[in-house]
Structure 1
Amino acid sequence: MTLYHFGNCIALIYVPYYLTYKYSGLSEYGAFWKCVQAGGIYMFTQLVKMLVLATFFPDNISEIGNDIVGEFLKATVDLADLIGLYVVLTGIPGKGHSKVLTAGIGWGIAEVILTRVLFLWVGARGAEFDWKYIQKCLESNISLVQYIATTTLIWLWSRHDLKTNLKPLVTALLIFSSYKTLILEVVIKYLIIGPWIGLMLKALTTLIVGSFTLTIYAGLAQALGIF
């Protein structure tokens, strides 16, 4: 039964990534090794972030809400992810949608492999069933949408033909995406929101960011004749 639960969790995490890769047409572009390259840059970026956190925030184990300034400064380190994604995008040839999907999916897959496999192997194979593992799996699916949206925003931000009035909106969405985790954790803590409501809040926030991103991208793509 425990292995069955573990298998369900693994499928719930990785099947959406596989289906996104397969049915987005990336397999036709031979983007597998580009996804691997994106994963390698993800690992390097996380290593740099860990070194920065260990250097400037040693032994800081305060809970969210007790040290807002400290948590904000630590969350600022996540801006390195934007730099890493930008490096991935610049190294991928092709059209906008293939670059964005390759970078986003490769980055997301690397994240779930490094942060979820061991967690599920140790926890989901336990003697007792716990909903928190299902919640973590669903959260990984939300992260996939967020990574693709963030990558799209970086691609839009780097475009010289983006309308001037849209540049501040794209920049604001990028900054919000970097601090979204901290903001939601503070909201969940102070409003004493349960895990399922918190998961729905994360999904709703990601959906809003994704909707704005898709609208901007669709407008630019239509103007350039990409569609």
Structure 2
Amino acid sequence: MTVFHFFNCAILTFGPHAVYYSATPLSEYDTIGTSVKAAAVYLGTALVKLVCLATFLNVSENDSFDPYQELLKVLINFIDVAGLYFALTQLTHRNISQTHKFQAVGLGWAFADSVLHRLVPLWVGARGLEFTWEYIYQGLEANANLVLNLSLAALGSLMWLRKNKPRTLIPIIYACAGVLATMPSITSYLRRALGWQTSKLVGFELFSSLMMAFISWQLFCACQRPA
């Protein structure tokens, strides 16, 4: 029973990444190399963030909300944006379209994040004798994270790869990218300052990821139209 629960949670956490790759043209264009490179860039970015967090943040004995510490976390989270910029613009890719490139980069980025932050807790905890909803929520959170990373990669491709985009959409693109980059800090604020439970936080993340995905796709389609 415990192994069955583990496999269910693992499929919920990592399965959507494989389904997305297989169900989209990414598999037809063999973009796995781009996704692997993006995952490697994510691991390097995560290491830089870890060093910054250990250097600039203070270890608090309680779980209270500290505005100064949260502001530092927001600034450190923008390292992810720098990593995505490097993955989208500096890595060598196959001759694929801009649409496939941002999807491959976002998919690799999200998969690496799930493996780094969720694989070990899942392996250690989901095989326990007592059932808990924690790892179900963790899988749902990974799905929301996949959508958010794909949306951020789409906006990043518009900011850095698309030259002839409508000038009226530029502020909206940068504003949406800023919201996506600060999403971890937003959820941290909801948990610490407002005391939201895990179920509410996961529901918020799923809803916000769908909303940001819709907005990002509309912006991407609008920039693709001829002027």
The two structures have a TM-score, normalised by structure 1, of 0.92
How many residues in Structure 1 have an aligned counterpart in Structure 2? 223
Counterpart residue type for residue 36 of structure 1: V
User: Mind listing any 5+ residue stretches in structure 1 that lack a counterpart?
Assistant: none
The percent identity for this pair of structures is: 30
Alpha-carbon distance in structure 1 between the residues aligned to 2:179 and 2:18: 28
CA apart distance, 1:75:
2.4
Change (3 A) 1:210 1:64: farther
Partner of 1:180: 183
- Is 1:16 matched with 2:16? yes
CA apart distance, 1:222:
3.0
- Is 1:219 matched with 2:222? yes
CA contact (8 A) 2:106 2:150 kept: yes
Query: RMSD of the TM alignment (CA)?
Result: 1.6
User: Mind listing any 5+ residue stretches in structure 2 that lack a counterpart?
Assistant: none
The two structures have a TM-score, normalised by structure 2, of 0.92
Partner of 1:165: 168
Partner of 2:78: 79
The worse-fitting range, judged by mean Cα deviation, of 35-44 and 89-98 is 89-98
Q: Secondary structure at the match of 1:28?
A: coil
Partner of 1:25: 25
The worse-fitting range, judged by mean Cα deviation, of 149-158 and 196-205 is 196-205
Q: Secondary structure at the match of 2:139?
A: helix
Q: Secondary structure at the match of 2:28?
A: helix
Partner of 1:125: 127
Change (3 A) 1:197 1:154: same
- Write the mapping of 1:141-156 to structure 2, written as runs, cut at 5 A: 141-156=143-158
Instruction: State the Cα deviation string for residues 181-215 of structure 1 (Å, max 9, x = none).
Output: 21233234444433222211111111221111111
CA contact (8 A) 1:153 1:213 kept: yes
CA apart distance, 1:64:
5.1
Change (3 A) 1:130 1:95: same
CA apart distance, 1:112:
0.9
Change (3 A) 1:88 1:45: same
